[in-house]
Amino acid sequence: MLYSDIGFGVAFANVCMLLVLLSIYWQNYRKWKSQYTIGLLVFGIFLLIQNILSLGFLGSPSPPPGPPTENPSHLPLLLINISQLVALATLLRISYK
Burial 79-97 (b: 16+ CB within 10 A, else e): ebbbebbeebeebeeeeee
Is residue 12 within 8 A of residue 84, CB to CB? The reply is: no
* Domain with 32 in it: 2-59+72-95
Residue 33 lies in a domain: yes
Residue 64 lies in a domain: no
What whole-number distance in Å separates Cα of residue 26 and Cα of residue 64?
A: 44
Residue 20 lies in a domain: yes
What whole-number distance in Å separates Cα of residue 34 and Cα of residue 83?
A: 28
pLDDT at position 47: 96
Residue 67 lies in a domain: no
pLDDT digits (tens, 9 = 90+) for 23-77: 999 999 999 999 999 999 999 999 999 999 989 887 776 666 666 566 677 788 8
What mean pLDDT do residues 14-23 have? 97
pLDDT band at 96 (very low <50, low <70, confident <90, very high): confident
pLDDT at position 75: 85
